[in-house]
Amino acid sequence: MNVTVIICAYTLERWDALKNAVGSCRAQTRRPDQVVVVIDHNDELWDRATRELEGAAVVANAFTKGLSGARNTGVEASHGEIIVFLDDDAFADPDWLAALCAPFEDDTVAGVGGWIVPEWQQDAAAWFPETYYWILGCSYRGLPQSGATLRNPIGANMAIRRRVFAAVGGFTSGIGRIGKVPLGCEETELCIRYTAFAPGDRFVLTRDAVVHHLVPPSRLSWRYFRSRCWAEGLSKAAVSSLVGSKSGLASERVHLARSLPRELGACIRQLPRHPREAATKGSLILAGASIAAAGLVRGNAALRREPIKPGGDELKLSASSEGDSDGTLPFGARRAG
């Protein structure tokens, strides 16, 4: 199968990380057929990327500013049957792509989510609740085992068949991250939309496809934790307004009812041995749930006044997943100029 990896970037602050992300694609045991780097409305970054990122086709975001538009641009520029997404501040293990693509041997698998581990840029934060690792862009406690069906994969490490985009369009603008504004859940809405269209297909998890997501010290602050929980509530309100709260909040209800109480109980048991660490972790679990719930209420109220237009961008996909008729470069080629 033909595979394209898409990496979206918006800032020069992550330049070294972006180079590492592209480099990790080149070091795969199953090398991608194409790597597309999408620059999100940043001329300086675009200029440097076109000059220095060897082995990647560099394209500019042709849609609305933000991650949804950038991803949609990458999909249009792709020619892979399987379209893989990797964050610009993450890097992959050598066997990542082979493991991520293996479940596609089953034709009913429409998409696959890999496993994302934190790459701490300071000492590991033992006080940070693992049920909230999604705040760090990582896989979190409460996710199922490999092979299990998911509502949606995590966008930092996921692969989706081309037919998904051909059937239901691209990621919906208005709910994805824009620069440093920590909104998200565009992959959640896309997967729910496709599952409604093709209920016989499914998205699955494989823990063997590992990427490492950079966690800078700035993400280990109360301010960042609070803003991400608030934004998650807003994002879930946006998704629910498009697909209904039953689908939009199904995984969150399970997480709230099962995973959070389990880790909270573990914190209580750890209090005598590690009082400070356990108390901090337990407090964050309770605070995070409350803040996300408040964001959800606030988002629902705002969306009643100004609803989001349903449906993703209409994408112009090449008729075949083979070749580079859409003007992109094969993996290993370099754009002139």
| Predicted local distance difference test score (pLDDT) of residue 175 | 61
Contact yes or no for 55/334 (Cβ under 8 A): yes
Contact yes or no for 103/204 (Cβ under 8 A): yes
| Predicted local distance difference test score (pLDDT) of residue 307 | 77
pLDDT of 176 over the 60 cut: no
**Where residue 183 falls among pLDDT bands split at 50, 70, 90?**
low
Residue 36 is which amino acid? V
Tell me how crowded residue 94 is: count the other CB atoms within 10 A of its CB. 12
| Predicted local distance difference test score (pLDDT) of residue 285 | 97
Q: What is the pLDDT of residues 247-284, one digit of tens each?
A: 778 888 889 999 999 999 999 999 999 999 999 999 99
| Residue entry with tokens 């892979």 | 80
Q: What is the pLDDT of residues 303-327, one digit of tens each?
A: 888 776 666 667 888 644 443 333 3
Q: What is the pLDDT of residues 114-161, one digit of tens each?
A: 999 999 998 889 999 999 999 999 999 999 999 999 999 999 999 999
Domains annotated for the chain, with CATH where assigned, are 3-216 (3.90.550.10)
Cβ neighbours for 242, distance < 8 A, ≥ 6 positions apart: 172, 175, 189, 193, 248, 308, 310
Name the DSSP letter for residue 182.
Answer: -
Cβ neighbours for 283, distance < 8 A, ≥ 6 positions apart: none
pLDDT of 39 over the 50 cut: yes
| Predicted local distance difference test score (pLDDT) of residue 311 | 60
